[in-house]
Amino acid sequence: MSYTENITKLHRGLTPIYPEQDRLNFGPQLRGDIRLLLQDDSYLEFNTIDTDGTVWVISDIDGWWNLAEASIPDVERGFGDGSFEVSGRFLARDLTIKGSILVTKNTRSQIDLISAEARDRLTLAFNLVKNGAFLIVDEDVYKRASFVRLSGRPDISTVNSRGRIDFSIGLRAVDPIKYEWIESEFSQTSIYNGRYNIEIAGIEKTGQAETDFRLYDFDEGRGYDSYEAVRAYAGNTNTVISYPSKVNILNRGNNLVYCYFRVVGPLYGPATIINSTTGQTININSPSTTQVTNYYTSGNTKNTFNVGQSGTLPRVLAADQFLDIDTKTREVRAGLYVDGVATQGEASNRGLLDPFIDWIYLQPGTNKIEFADSGAEFEETTATLEIYWRSGWIG
């Protein structure tokens, strides 16, 4: 290619095709695609016009579109040049959200009133020191969210007589992963406080000795009709041998994510949860005739309960009990259903698992999960496994 042709292509790539069309298509867009979910479950929506006719525009979220800052230790070799090859980690994600509030009223009294109300609403929403909020951004086909708190003093200032307010607010997401946000009633009632792990998957009960892994995709819900239908049964009532239930869990992101397991009794034990894609295994111990206690608080009353069932046929969990395993925080707690409501115990039940286990994560793409209860071979009623997770991105 000649020098003239190279220069021509260079300049062509630096010029807009249709300047006026580009201004409309790539300038500020009012699509309501950035929101802040507050503690009272209300939203502060940006890139939109509110009921007062005020325009809320975000010009940029610095730090959102890139990789989070990395920390890779430098371990010198000591006996030669260079350093040892070591893996690092991502640090917290620091963000700066920049934008403007444009008041469209015509009279001075209306401008003063609406501008003051908008400023109060903005400052109240970003009062994120003792409480945090979820920043939700519609990036592409997926909504992605991070839990953020305030970092530093916000810069909020009125810049002209029409009541325009410009702001630049620093935020910090201690978890650098951006998680998929799924709008559903179920997402608001997730057992996981961070609301990261709202998808639920499992396997239908089957009488076949060998069964292929089936893909569970939240969007398509292939093979499942409802949340109640997507439970993983650990036993098999149609054959003498108990074969493990299997399912494919899909992490659509580009980064590993941890998950939340809830095992609902009766669980006879010993039992295993395996991510056969990564080789990670969680072993639940054999039942013991010595029961473990836990408690929950209702009002000012401390209520204790025994985990498991003793007697001639001891069980790890009774029929009205469950075991929650959070692989991110590495917490294990038993619970029970009180008047039909799942009530988690306040004490740790880490002792119900083996001392050495893998805290299972989901790698990007498909993960094959197996669940089996060795003690449920001849039982008609067996445990179920619920899996909660969200796809995650680091970039």
Q: What is the pLDDT of residue 378?
A: 64
199 and 299 together in one domain = yes
21 domain residue, yes or no: no
Q: Which two tokens stand for residue 203?
A: 């396997």
Task: Give dist(CA 359, CA 243) in Å, integer.
Answer: 23
Q: What is the mean pLDDT of residues 305-318?
A: 84
143 and 274 together in one domain = no
Q: What is the pLDDT of residue 235?
A: 37
243 domain residue, yes or no: yes
Q: What is the mean pLDDT of residues 87-115?
A: 91
125 and 200 together in one domain = no
44 domain residue, yes or no: yes
Q: What is the pLDDT of residue 128?
A: 92
Q: Is the pLDDT of residue 97 over 90?
A: yes
Higher pLDDT, 18 or 111: 111
Contacts of 239 by beta carbon, 8 Å cutoff, 6+ apart: 207, 209
273 and 148 together in one domain = no
Q: How many domains does the chain have?
A: 2
Higher pLDDT, 298 or 142: 298
Higher pLDDT, 152 or 25: 152
Q: Determine the structural domain holding residue 95 and report its residue range.
A: 29-75+85-176
Q: What is the pLDDT of residue 72?
A: 92
Task: Give dist(CA 153, CA 169) in Å, integer.
Answer: 7
Contacts of 14 by beta carbon, 8 Å cutoff, 6+ apart: none
166 and 200 together in one domain = no
152 domain residue, yes or no: yes
255 and 277 together in one domain = yes
Q: Which two tokens stand for residue 237?
A: 């009532």
Residue that terminates a domain, selected from 119, 144, 176: 176
330 and 283 together in one domain = yes
CATH number of the domain encompassing residue 91:
2.40.30.200
Task: Give dist(CA 34, CA 166) in Å, integer.
Answer: 17
- Give CA torsion, residues 204, 258, 365, 357, to 10 deg: -80
Task: Give dist(CA 331, CA 346) in Å, integer.
Answer: 11
Name the average pLDDT for the chain.
79
Cα torsion angle, 128, 134, 138, 144, sign = positive
Q: Which two tokens stand for residue 382?
A: 């067996």
105 and 142 together in one domain = yes
Q: Are 244 and 276 in contact (CB under 8 A)?
A: no
9 domain residue, yes or no: no
Which one of 194-198, 233-237, 363-367 scores highest in mean pLDDT?
Answer: 363-367
Q: Closest Cα partner for 170 from 100, 117, 93, 116?
A: 93
Task: Give dist(CA 285, CA 242) in Å, integer.
Answer: 17
Residue that terminates a domain, selected from 176, 197, 213: 176
Residue that terminates a domain, selected from 158, 176, 194: 176
Q: CA 342, 252, 38 angle in degrees (round to 5)?
A: 55
42 domain residue, yes or no: yes
Q: Which two tokens stand for residue 335?
A: 């619970």
Task: Give dist(CA 99, CA 126) in Å, integer.
Answer: 13
Chain mean position to CA 17: 40
DSSP one-letter string for 65-103:
SSPPPEE----B-SSSSSB-----EE-PEEEEEEEEEE-
Q: What is the pLDDT of residue 122?
A: 94
Alpha helices, H only, 79-230:
108-125
Q: What is the mean pLDDT of residues 54-72?
A: 92
Q: What is the pLDDT of residue 183?
A: 64
Q: Is the pLDDT of residue 24 over 50?
A: no
- Give CA torsion, residues 326, 329, 335, 338, to 10 deg: -100
Q: Are 134 and 145 in contact (CB under 8 A)?
A: yes
Segment 312-345, tens digit of pLDDT: 778 899 989 999 999 988 999 999 998 888 899 9
20 domain residue, yes or no: no
133 and 227 together in one domain = no
171 and 188 together in one domain = no
Q: Is the pLDDT of residue 364 over 90?
A: yes
190 and 298 together in one domain = yes
80 domain residue, yes or no: no
166 and 292 together in one domain = no
Segment 165-175, tens digit of pLDDT: 999 999 999 99
Q: What is the pLDDT of residue 205?
A: 34
Segment 198-237, tens digit of pLDDT: 444 443 333 333 344 444 444 443 333 322 233 333 333 3
Q: Is the pLDDT of residue 176 over 70?
A: yes
CATH number of the domain encompassing residue 286:
2.60.120.860
